Each structure stands twice: as structure tokens, then as C-alpha cells.
Structure 1
Amino acid sequence: MIYGPTLLFAIGEGAVIPLIPVIANRLGADVALAALVAAALVVGQLCGNIPAGWAVARFGERITMGVAGIVILGGLVGVVFAGTLAIFAAAVFLIGFCAASFALARHSFMTTRVPLHFRARALSLLGGTFRLGMFVGPFISAALLGIFGDEKASIAFFAVCQVATILLVFLGPDPEKAVAANGSDSRDDEDTGEPVTGAIPTVERVGVFRTMWRFRAVLARLGLAAASLSAVRSARQVVLPLWGVSLGLDASTIAVVVGVSGAIDFALFYASGQVMDRFGRLWAALPAMVLMGAGFLALSFTHDLDSSAMWFAMFAAVLGVGNGLSSGILLTLGADLAPADEPAAFLGSWRTLTDAGGAIAPVMISALTALVSLSGAVAAMGVVAALGAFGFVRWVPRYVPRSRS
């Protein structure tokens, strides 16, 4: 019940993500505009973080995730029947908006309940559920395209995953109640059995924007480095399908290449958690940024080569390795930096900032593709990765406790 709903959602989403630029292109978008439509998914998630945090605090994980799953079904109906690019983009935005509920609910839950000595591994496993979706989803999509020859089959598969998620959330045991009943929340004070005298201490609830101001120093420094990592990750999801489209590859081939990249990514997720728990957070963040930056820069020079398809597949694999090494790092850093008494408001701020990086990247790629070229946009993401690597080296030792940095 902790990982299952997120896993089902990720597999369905992974089957559809590689097809978003393809469908947008069929509806009349050029490469630059297709990148902008693909960005609607990340922008939707960015806009959904604060409402999702409020909903989780007000109604609990179960209701929030279940309602979000139902709304996503409506978004998938819009994707299937979209006759114009604007309606298609709005449906993609709605799916991203509701996707924030799945990520934020589990992040907050595990920040307050997972013991510190294996926090990174637990959160890397949570990140691994998304990577499993990016691994399995595109292969399922490629198989469905081969059998039915229509993108609607992959969208229907996402809908089936959502129905299963809704049933699991509403009919399965509630982990919030189960953990509380077992008394396994590591932050709860021990009940001594003595009568309580005097006022019961309470924690003042602080809004997201006040929390941003209170923690502005760490958010403006380490938060921006984290946002650059999120931007590079988001760029990978957009660049690979777009690069395949610009090379003239068919949807099935693009889905396979993206799936192989996701397989490599997925294979490394638990290793990332082991590295962070044993050696520190920087040992996962820095190699990931260096690899992805080098992969983007190298890929940008291969578009017009005779063997461009081979280089596309090879550097997609390199990007998969880099992304896999960073599995769970943003979740873990957010949990490390969050105040122990009330982490939700800080995590809302942290996720808003990191998701902003992920939302800006596709827009940046779209703008640079229109102004310069797709190759120029990809090279720019390599530069962003290099700057982010410098930020992690500079700020992780300062803000993360030495035993964890």
C-alpha cells in the first residue's frame, strides 16, 4: 500500500509519456511546439504541488490519491478525443496536475516515518517506482502499438492502471492508520503513562509561502542546484522522443529507445540509495550530474551524422545511467532539510522549487529549438547540468549534516 499506488500510476504514465510529442506532432505541432505541449505535464505537476499538500493535510492520503486518480481518468478521455492541440495540451496539463498528489503524499508520509539510517534507500525505492514505470511503460506501449497500430491502445492501458490504482487506494488498508496503530512513527514521543499537566504543546502551522521565506537561504542555494537536476531529468524525458522525431524514427522505435534508457535508469535506483546512506548524498548527486551533462553535450553534435540513430540510442543509455545514479536524491535531500516538527510545508516549498526546474526545462528546450536548433537546446541542458554539479559541490556540505553529506 505504500509503493503500490505510485507504481501503478508510474507504469501507466510511462506508457503514454513517449507518445505525447508524437500525438502533438500529428495534431499539427512542429518540433518546438511539440516540446511545449510535452512541458504541460511537468507544468501541471508544478501547479498541483501546493493544492496537493493542502488536500493531503485536510483529507488524508487515501481521499486525495483516490480523487486524483478519478480526475486523471477524465484527463485521459480528453487526450483520446482531443481534436485540437489546445484541448490535448489542457488534458496533459490536468494529468500532471493530479500526478502531484501521488508524489507529495508518499514523500510526506515517508519523511516522518522512515528511520534516518535507511532513509535514502527507502526514498530511492520510492523513486524506483517511477523508474520502473519509465522502464516497463514504454515497452508495453511499443507492444500495444505493434498489435493495434494506434496510440489509443496505450492511453487505454493507462486508464486500466488508474482504475486499478483507485480500487487499491479505496479498498486496501490505509498505511497512515496502520503505522499510527503500530506505533512505528519514529518521531512520536514515548507514552510514559503519567497524567498530562499544563498546556499541551502544539506546532504552529506555517503556510508554504511563509516557509519559503523562512528557509530562503537554503532554497535559493541548494534548492536551485536541486532544481537544475530536476530540469536535466525533465529535459531527458522530452529530448529523447523529440530527437527521435527529428531523426524521422517511427513511434515504436522511439518507445523502445526510451524504454532501454529507462531500463538502465531503473537498474541503478537501489544502488543510489546504498551510496547515499553509506557514503553521503554528494556521492550520488555529483556523478549523476556530470554524466547527464556530458551525455547531453555529446548528443548535441550527432544529429546530422550518418549513424545518428546509433548515437541516439547510445547517449540515451548514458542519460539513463546518470538519471539512475540520482534516484531518490531530491526526495532524500528534501527529507534531510525539512524541520522535524512539521515537514509538510517545507516539502511543499522544496517540491515546488524542484518541479519548477522540471517545468522550465521543456519550455527552455522549445524556445531554444525555435530560436537556434534542437541541437543547441540539447547542448544548453548540458551546461545547466554542469552548473548544477558545481552547486551541489558548493552547498551540500554546508546545509546537509556532515554525517549525511
Structure 2
Amino acid sequence: MSSSQTASFDPIRRYGFMVYGPTALYSLGQGAILPLLPALATDLGASLPAAALISAAIVIGQLAGNIPAGWLVSRLGERRTMIIAALASLIGIAGMLVATNIAVLGLSVLLEGFFAASFAVARHTFMTTRVPYTHRARALALVGGSFRLGGFTGPFVAAGLLALFGDEHASVWFFAACLVGVAALVAFGPDPEEKARIADRMAEPRVAEEAADPVAEEDTGEPVSAPVTERIGVFRTMHRHRALLARLGTTAASLAAVRSARQAVLPLWGVSIGLDSQTIALVVGVAGAAEFSLFYASGQIMDRHGRLWAVIPALLLMGAGFGGLAFTHDVDHTALWFGALAVVIGVGNGLSSGILMTLAADVAPPKDPAPFLGAWRTLTDGGAALTPLLVSGITAAASLPVACGLVGVVALAGAGAFLRYVPRYAPRR
């Protein structure tokens, strides 16, 4: 991308209909059904552990779908994969609507997670191949912000639909409508590559552009995927980049684990110190608001000062927050400590917005990034999925403060690992 393009690059305008709008709409629909999955399961006779397993099936589906999604994006391109993923998710919706037992419901939720992975990898690949390095963190932070906006507002939509229809399946129908809208936006929305070409023609003469880039005159304008000269497959890609994935990828998984711990630990902590549900919800909501308010600031920091200037403070803040909780369970004014430290954790989480996608885009093979991104997301999703299980196990074996302390240690260890591996594998350009 030329200097004139970089100077005038506006990812919001260029990719709004292709990425940000569909992401917010998809996460809005998904956020409307996630809180109701346990209720749908118990209505079919599931026990509490079985209902929890149904809720976890969407994460398991994402884990299983990341690597196949990398293969699919590499073969079909980003735009087609997003459309296919949105429409194929309707299979899971149909299963949720007609389910008469928890096995069918669980399989349907698993399919939702599987196709959600395809959508996520395609979206990530699209931004990796099209956004210049100077704007990459902001553009991907906006992806994360779009997802968080939908996830934040989805439960309120679910509550409204429940009040209006009195049936949890209304949210499932709402998600179906969102999926159709996502497919329509991606398929029929303005072509971002056409916008880019118009901007190029206005910025500099066409002849100069062709002289600088001989391939430009052969550009067909097809927005499906960036030109690819070599596809080596998912598993060969993983083998070729095994050292990077084992080091920086595992480090990224530690950040995903710490971020996931917030959702697992904070509600449990509120219960353990005797707070009522309304107070816990208020504290978690305030922490979530602090987190959401910082997602774009994180991208600005990473683009202007480097990736480490966002991820290290984020991990230090979250480590301090979880470590502080470990020592404040039985002190005076424990509720005030809980509220303050929850906000600290939320601020740290907000500063980390977009960092995992940005680092993956920085180190992914430029010619065919999708297989690598699928492997990367498998690692990070795995870290996030394992955290609630580890917190539960450590709490049962020792105590919740011990679990919080260990999460804090993981955060500090992750900060050290980022300091070591980011300069080695993703030096600032």
C-alpha cells in the first residue's frame, strides 16, 4: 500500500459493511442466546452440570472449527467463507428450535461454535491481508470492539424478547434473523476493494500506480481474497511455524487464559464474600464498561508506540487485580476491594483489546495467512476454554483466593514471555 493510501486509510469507512457491521450483528445475535442456553437445556430435563456442558459446547465447537476454518478460507477466500459460515449456522439454529432432548440441543450449539470459528478466521484473514501495518492494531481493535458491543447488548435484547414473548426460543429466532442479515451485508454490501481503487485513482495517476505495481493492471477487483502464490496446507503451515506457535502462540494463550478468568472468577468472588446478585451484577457491569471504553485506545497505543506498550500494562494490571483479590477475601471492606480490583482487571482487559489478533496478523505468512491464523486461534481459544475448568478445580482442591493468586502469577509470567518473544518474532516495523 502506497504512502498516500496509508495516510488516508480509514478502516471504518472502507470495511464497515464487510467486517465491523457483520461482526457486531453476529455477536448481537450470539449474545442474545448465550445467557439462555442453560434455561433451554434445563427445560429439556438437563441437570445443572449437563446445562453447563451445553453452554460450554459453543466454545468446544470453536476449538474444533479453527483449523478446518483455516483450510476453508485458504481455498474459498474470506468473503465466501463468511457468507457460508453465516448461512450454515442456520442448521444449528434449526436444531435448537426443534430439539426435543439435550443431545440434539448440544449438537446444535456445537455446530454454532464450529461455524462461528469459520466466520472469525475469515474476518481475521481479511483484515490481515488488507490493512497496512500502520493501522493494523486500530483496525483489529475495532473488530474486537464490534464483537464486545454485540456481546454487551445481546443479553438486554434477550431480556426484552423474553418480556415480550415469554419464550426463550424468541432469542433463537432473533439470532437466525441476525445471521441472515450478516450474510446479506457481506454478500451485497459495498465492495471495500472497489472503494480502495477509487481512492487510488483520486490520489495518484493510474499510470504511476501501474508502473509501481505491474500486477495492478491484471487486478479483477474480486474481493474474495488476496493473491496467493503458494498454499502449503494447515498442518504443513503448523509444522513450518512450530517454534513460533510453541513460544509466542503459547504466550498468547496465557493472555487469553487470564482474560477468560475474569468471567469465571468475578461472579464467584462476589458470591464467596456474601454479596447479593444485584451487587455482583453491578460490579461486573462497571468493570465491563471500563473494559469496553478502552478498546480503541488499545489500538492507538499499539499502532503509535508498539505492541508491547499495550500488552505489558494490560497483563500487569490484570495480574495486580487478581493478585490483590487473593489477599482481600477476609479483610475489612472486602466489598470495596472487590469493586476496585474488578475495575482494575477491566481496565487491563480493555488495554489488551485486539492484541491477540494483531500479533497473529504481524507474524502470519503474508501469502496465505488463513491456515496459520486457524492454528493460532486454536491455541488462544484453548487457553480461554481451559481457564474456567482450572479455576473450578483449584477452588475445589484449595480455595478461590489460591485460584486468583495463580491467575495473577500466570499474568506476570505472560508479561515476561511477551517481553522476550515479541521483539524476536514481531519486531516493530
CA shift at 1:391, angstroms? 0.9
Aligned residue for 2:213?
A: 190
Does the Cα contact within 8 Å between 2:68 and 2:374 map onto a contact in 1? no
Query: More displaced, 365-374 or 224-233?
Result: 365-374
Query: More displaced, 382-391 or 138-147?
Result: 138-147
In 1, Cα distance between the equivalents of 2:374 and 2:116?
A: 14
| Cα 1:291–1:192 shift into 2, 3 Å | closer
Aligned residue for 2:47?
A: 28
Aligned residue for 2:250?
A: 224
In 1, Cα distance between the equivalents of 2:183 and 2:216?
A: 40
| Cα 1:160–1:210 shift into 2, 3 Å | same
Aligned residue for 2:13?
A: none
In 1, Cα distance between the equivalents of 2:240 and 2:215?
A: 34
**Structure 1 portions without partners, runs of 5+:** 196-200
2:230 match: secondary structure: coil
Does the Cα contact within 8 Å between 1:5 and 1:168 map onto a contact in 2? yes
Aligned residue for 1:129?
A: 146
| Cα 1:148–1:298 shift into 2, 3 Å | farther
Among the aligned pairs, what percent are the same residue?
Answer: 58
Does the Cα contact within 8 Å between 2:74 and 2:368 map onto a contact in 1? no
CA shift at 1:40, angstroms? 2.7
The correspondence of residues 328-339 of structure 1 with structure 2, limited to 5 A, is 328-339=354-365
Aligned residue for 2:9?
A: none
Superposed CA offset, 1:358-380 (max 9, x none): 22223323433454455544443
Equivalent residue for 1:357, pick from 376, 379, 383: 383
Equivalent residue for 2:410, pick from 369, 384, 389: 384
1:72 match: secondary structure: helix
Q: TM-score, normalised by structure 1?
A: 0.81
Q: Which amino acid aligns with 1:72?
A: S
* Residues paired across the two proteins, number: 393
Aligned residue for 1:214?
A: 240
The correspondence of residues 93-108 of structure 1 with structure 2, limited to 5 A, is 93-108=110-125
2:231 match: secondary structure: coil
1:203 match: secondary structure: coil
Q: Which amino acid aligns with 2:357?
A: L
Does the Cα contact within 8 Å between 2:74 and 2:231 map onto a contact in 1? no
**Structure 2 portions without partners, runs of 5+:** 1-16, 202-208, 219-226
Aligned residue for 2:229?
A: 203
Aligned residue for 1:140?
A: 157
Between structure 1 and structure 2, the one with the greater Rg is 2
When the two chains are superposed, the root-mean-square deviation of aligned CA atoms in Å is 3.7
Q: Which amino acid aligns with 1:263?
A: A
Q: Which amino acid aligns with 2:253?
A: A
In 1, Cα distance between the equivalents of 2:396 and 2:367?
A: 47
Does the Cα contact within 8 Å between 1:138 and 1:259 map onto a contact in 2? no
Query: More displaced, 314-323 or 272-281?
Result: 314-323
CA shift at 1:328, angstroms? 1.0
Does the Cα contact within 8 Å between 2:79 and 2:122 map onto a contact in 1? no
In 1, Cα distance between the equivalents of 2:161 and 2:332?
A: 30
CA shift at 1:113, angstroms? 1.2
2:67 match: secondary structure: helix
CA shift at 1:108, angstroms? 1.0
Does the Cα contact within 8 Å between 2:145 and 2:296 map onto a contact in 1? yes
> Does the alignment pair 1:51 with 2:68?
yes
| Cα 1:217–1:61 shift into 2, 3 Å | closer
Query: More displaced, 260-269 or 121-130?
Result: 260-269
Q: TM-score, normalised by structure 2?
A: 0.77
Superposed CA offset, 1:304-343 (max 9, x none): 7897776655544333211110111111111111232332
1:342 match: secondary structure: coil
Aligned residue for 1:198?
A: none
Aligned residue for 2:320?
A: 294
